[in-house]
Amino acid sequence: MSDATLDANYDVAVVGGGAAGLMAALAARGATGDDGLARPVPAGAPRTVVLDASPKIGLKILASGGGRCNVTNEHVDERDFETDAPHLLRGYLAAFDVDAVRVFFESRECPLYAESLGKLFPRTDDAAHVLRTLLHACVDAGVEIRHPFDVEAIERPAGAEGPFHLRGAGGASVVARRVIVATGGKSLPKTGSRGFGFGYAAALGHDVVPPLPALAPVLFAPDSPLAGLSGVTHPVAFSLVHAGTTLEQAAGSKLRPLARAAGSCVFTHAGASGPSALDVSGPAGRALFEREPVELRADVWSLTTDDGPFAAYLDDPKPPGCSLSPNDSPRPPTFEAFVAGARSHAFAGHQQLGNALAKRIPKSVVEALLKSVDVEAARPAKTATALDWKRVHQALTWCDAKLVGVDGYGKAEVTSGGVPLSELKRGTLESKIAAGVFFCGETANVTGRLGGFNFQWAWASGYSAGRGVAASLA
Ligand SMILES: Cc1cc2nc3c(=O)[nH]c(=O)nc-3n(C[C@H](O)[C@H](O)[C@H](O)COP(=O)(O)OP(=O)(O)OC[C@H]3O[C@@H](n4cnc5c(N)ncnc54)[C@H](O)[C@@H]3O)c2cc1C
């Protein structure tokens, strides 16, 4: 439907027809239960409209997962997200959980399958199938969808009890008793995400956590030991730590890094991309934004061990598309453990140190890192001194990547920051400041790691906002 100039009255206007907005509209109509199954829309269900600025609905869903849409993940909990209120997040994730999402799609003829590390995709490997499923469900549920309808202002002329007037470009307007703001973040702006919800929330008086690009490549200084490795793929465990944190502290069991991500990484001309780099980018960007003295340390060794947490994926022709869970991400090894491991199989005979290490790590990476600590790659491994081994340990497991930034919204998959969960009513995501206004999806301060977690948040938060809006109208 594209009749954007008609004035009309609704019970609920959902601003933004992405994953969160479409799920919110379905939940507002009572068309899905918390088990994911379709429900007959009850008589008197709220009259609901979705307004989307884009001429084509669901562009981000179509672009997601490389066109395959990683719908969710088999294992999701609050540790997979950055937020101001993990205890509140747990409740939302439970209200519409992974099983509900699976049932939602599978019972509507969009079966899913799991890839390594739990990523769930439609069996057709086609994001359009996911979008079609949502849009068909909306049609069945009597949700109206109007687009392009670019909401420029949301006003409440009759005061706190009156209906909302949503004004669109070109004089279009809609009147609604409740508003769900599901306008997404600022990432990939060509899909329509421009951060409208953040500005609106701030104008209402919310203390919006400043939006920043996340799940974006990290950028290193030109003199980083990892510069010049562009195109090399290798599993890396990144740790974001306070500046000056030593390897000995990190290898000890007490230190908790500010963030850690362990998984495949691809070095770029400016830094690093791939799951582990993207996963650490949100906290890294936030720390830099807040001018905290931090360092990004790279461990190129721990994920290559035959008995380590990444061993199952080392021989895969295609590296897993997400990182290990935070629980499985290893800390760097102690010196003793490193030397025992490094010496165990590779150092028989008269091999050169670089060649021996290159059995586990690409030679270009070994050479760059040994050079950074002044250890000669060509020297026989057997002649390496204890000091050499100390340096090799440091270089391979605690390399200072010389972080200087995080790439921008054009490259970022998500936007971190948004309306704090603590400023939204528990369970319904209604603003504690402006009654009748609900926030969901990326407008709220919840950012998942790579692997289907951001869509899981979109479904779960959309569901809670939709049920919350329906309850407030009942
Ligand atoms: C390239 C890419 C790949 C991704 N792949 C995955 C993946 O595989 N798995 C995963 O979990 N996550 C993935 N993500 C992240 C995921 O897509 C988002 O977290 C999720 O789509 C957010 O949903 P949302 O509904 O909050 O916002 P969005 O999907 O951004 O939807 C917001 C909608 O609001 C509309 N809008 C904005 N402002 C206005 C306005 N003023 N008036 C009217 N309409 C407006 C926009 O047009 C848009 O349609 C990916 C992101 C990108 C960029």
**Distance between Cα 61 and ligand 1 center (Å):** 7
Give the pLDDT mean for 393-399. 97
- Write out the two tokens for 54: 């884009």
**How confident is the model over 18-75, as pLDDT tens digits?**
999 999 999 999 999 999 999 999 999 999 999 999 999 999 999 999 999 999 999 9
Q: Is 69 exposed, middle or buried (0-12, 13-18, 19+ CB in 10 A)?
A: buried
- Write out the two tokens for 426: 């528990």
pLDDT-above-90 percentage for the chain = 84
**Distance between Cα 193 and ligand 1 center (Å):** 7
- Name the pLDDT band for 107 (thresholds 50, 70, 90): very high
In the predicted model, is pLDDT for residue 413 greater than 90?
Answer: yes
The CA-to-CA distance between both ends of the chain, in Å, stands at: 28
Query: Which of 64, 112, 125, 457, when mutated, tests ligand 1's pocket best, judged by the most ligand atoms within 8 Å of its CB?
Result: 64
**Distance between Cα 184 and ligand 1 center (Å):** 5
In the predicted model, is pLDDT for residue 6 greater than 70?
Answer: no
Any idea how long the chain is? 474
Residue ranges around ligand 1 (CB below 6 Å): 15-21, 51-54, 60, 63-65, 69-70, 150-151, 182-184, 187-188, 192-194, 196, 413-414, 441-442, 452-455, 458
Q: What is the pTM of this model?
A: 0.96
Name residue 146's beta-bridge partners: 51
CA dihedral sign of residues 471, 78, 211, 217: negative
Write the CB contacts of 102 (distance below 8 Å, at least 6 apart in sequence). 36, 72, 112, 120
Half-sphere exposure in the Cβ direction for 473 (13 Å, CA): 25
What is the reported pLDDT for 3? 42
What is the reported pLDDT for 170? 84
Among the atoms of ligand 1, which is closest to the Cα of residue 72?
A: 11
Query: Which of 23, 60, 461, when mutated, tests ligand 1's pocket best, judged by the most ligand atoms within 8 Å of its CB?
Result: 60
Among candidate residues 391, 389, 472, the one with its CA nearest the CA of residue 429: 472
